[in-house]
Amino acid sequence: MNEILFKVLLTIGVVFNLFGCIGLLRLPDVYNRLQAATKCVTLGTCSILLSLIFRFGFTEAGIKALLGIPLLFFAATVAAHALVRGSYHFGVKMGDQSVIDEYADHKQESSQKEPKED
């Protein structure tokens, strides 16, 4: 039973990681690519880590894998935020299909207020 659960979760994890990678290649701009990279890849990796519990039980390896899930969750979300904010301030344009950008107003306001920050 545990062996079956291990294999099922491992397969789900690998398949979602694959979707994440396809998204990384197909989607048009940085912002959309990060969506695929954070969501699919995080869940895929969490699923792989969870599968290790069924393979090894609550031993040293199993507990380490379980602890990896919350750590990965915080690391992935914060990294996605940092990357997306960084690339916006660096000036990476949004793709042609974009319909709205309310962040631009804020950026304009703040650059008018502090013309020379450094």
* Contact residues for other proteins, defined by CB under 8 A: 16, 19-20, 22-23, 26-29, 31-32, 34-36, 38-40, 42-43, 60, 63-64, 67, 73-74, 76-78, 80-81, 84-85, 88, 94-95, 97-104, 106
Closest approach, Cβ 16 to other proteins, in A, equals: 6
- Our CB check for other proteins shows the closer of 45 and 54 to be 45
Closest approach, Cβ 53 to other proteins, in A, equals: 14
Specify the DSSP class assigned to residue 94: P
Torsion on CA atoms 96, 100, 113, 78, rounded to nearest 10: -90
- Our CB check for other proteins shows the closer of 3 and 99 to be 99
Helix ranges (H only) for 27-59 are 30-56
Distance CA 84, CA 66 (A): 28
Smallest CA-to-CA distance from 72 within 48, 56, 54 is with 48
